[in-house]
Amino acid sequence: MRIIIAFGAMALALSCSKDAETVDTEYPVIDGNFAGAFPQQCGTVRRGETFVFRAKFSDNVALGSFSLDVHDNFDHHSHSTEVEACDMGPVKEAEAPFKYIKSFDIPGAPKTYEAEVAIAVPADVDPGDYHFLMRVTDREGWQTLRGLSIKIE
């Protein structure tokens, strides 16, 4: 019986000492209401033009990096992560879909960061429904993602 008590006391002591050490369990945040945010859910970008992606990321401790992915949704395979649903064009086969995949470091591990990336959309890509997926991590590896439905005209 004494062994149990001793073990229990040890377990209790260990668990208390561990609670003092706090680890970061918070996800980074993508600010959807940021004034200059672009593109917006159900927004439009034009072929043959360059648009500038703008977003504001924040974290309670330190941000890590972010990644952007633009791909076609001509087959309506998935929906965005947003509340608002958009009008979609008809389902169609892709011929020359626009594809953009790139990742970026956030230098200096700041708590907030305003991202700005110029993205050129070639003139000869298929117009239609696209997904704009942005992902951000913090230093601990928590990832937040946000998927927007956009149109390329």
Partner 1 sequence: MKFIIITLIGLFAFAFAHGQDSRLAGRVTDTIGNRVVGARVTLEGVGMQAGPPIKVVLTDTTGAFSFVGLPRGNYQLVVHKRGYADWQTTVSLTGDTDGFTVVLEGKVHLLDEVLVVDNHVERRKQEESLNLEVVGKDFVYRNLGGSLMKSLERLPGVQTIGIGSGQSKPLIRGLGFNRVVVVDRGIKHEGQQWGSDHGLELDQFAVGEVEIIKGAASFVYGSDAIGGAIDVKPEALPAPHTRAVSVDLVGRSNNHSYGTSVRIGGRSDKWFVDSRLTYLRYGDYRVPADTVYVYDYAVPLQGQRLRNTAGRETDVHFTAGYLAERFNSILYVNNIDNKAGFFANAHGLEPRRVDVELHDKSVRDILLPSQQVNHFKAISKNALHLGAHHIEAELGFQRNFRQEHSPYVNHGYMPSSLPDTLGVPTTLEREFDKQVYALNVKDYVELGKHQLTFGLNGERQHNRIGGWTFLVPSFAQSTVGVFAYDRYRLTDRLLLHGAVRFDHGSLRMHEYRDWFPSDVPEGGQAYLVRAADLHRRFNSLVWSIGMNYEPFENLSLKANIGKSFRMPIAKELSANGVNYHYFSYERGNPSLAAEQSYQADLAVEWNTDGWQIQVSPFYNYFPNYIYLNPTAAFDHFYGAGNQVFEYAESRVMRYGGEVQVSRRLGRSLKAEVLGEYLFSQQLSGTKKGFSLPFAPPPSLLMGLSWSPERPGSPFIELDYRLVAAQDRIVPPEKKTAGCGVMALRAGGTARVAGMPVHLNVQVQNLLDTKYMDHTSFYRLIELPEMGRNIVLSLRIPVISKQNE
Q: How far apart are CA 143 and CA 136, in angstroms?
A: 6
Residue among 39 and 72 whose Cβ is closer to partner 1: 72
Binding string, 48-87, against partner 1, x = CB under 8 A?
Answer: ----------------xxxxxx-xx-xxxxxxxxxx----
For the bound state, the minimum distance from the C-beta of residue 28 to partner 1, rounded and expressed in Å, comes to 10
Count of beta carbons in the 10 Å neighbourhood of residue 74 = 19
The answer to the question of residue 147 lying near partner 1 (CB under 8 A) is: yes
Q: Could you identify the residue written with the tokens 């648009």?
A: 51
CB proximity list for 135: less than 8 A, separation 6 or greater: 66, 67, 68, 69, 143, 144, 145, 146
Residue among 58 and 67 whose Cβ is closer to partner 1: 67
Find the binding residues for partner 1 in span 104-123 (CB under 8 A).
104-105
Nearest to 55 by CA among 26, 88, 28: 28
Find the binding residues for partner 1 in span 13-42 (CB under 8 A).
14-15, 18, 21, 23, 25
Beta-bridge partners for 150: 130
Q: Judge contact between 72 and 94, C-beta under 8 A.
A: yes
Report residue 123 CA to chain centroid gap.
Answer: 27
Interface region with partner 1, contact rule CB under 8 A, candidates 45-53, 112-120, 145-153: 145-153
Residue among 36 and 104 whose Cβ is closer to partner 1: 104
Report the interface residues with partner 1, using CB under 8 A: 1, 3-4, 7-8, 11, 14-15, 18, 21, 23, 25, 64-69, 71-72, 74-83, 93-94, 97, 99, 101-105, 135, 137-143, 145-147
